[in-house]
Amino acid sequence: MRLKGRKVVGGCAEGEALVSRDAVSFYGGVDPETGVVTEKGHDVEGRSVSGKVFVFPTGKGSTVGSYVIYRMKKLGTAPAAIVNVETEAILATGCVIAGIPLVDKIDGEALEGLESGMILRVDADSGVVESVEL
């Protein structure tokens, strides 16, 4: 599977996918110390984003979320890369200051073909997200 999107923050990463169908708030929704999603009722509640290619539709929440992402990078609990249908400013800012590759404008239907546990390679410089066969 090969998906084409838009580069928001450049860079390359590869890792296990964690796919959510829910929007994500890094402020109050993800524990920066552990990288675990803590938002009650979230479809990936209790799962860690650390070192994963975190795939979700869009971000939400407070502007403090940008600094939470930066803190996670410094603590080693941040995602390796992020893939969205539509990136909003808070998420983009966090990825810029943390240096986390970020791709958006992935078609929502194409996003449905991605599943947690897949190995994904993100070449944000080219806007390409592809599954890696092991």
Q: Is 62 a catalytic residue?
A: yes
Contact at 8 Å (CB) between 81 and 98?
Answer: no
Which tokens go with 76?
Answer: 């080693």
Which segments within the chain are labelled E, that is strand?
A: 2-4, 6-9, 12-19, 53-55, 81-83, 102-104, 119-123, 128-131
Give the active site residue among 25, 48, 50, 62. 62
Catalytic residue ranges: 62
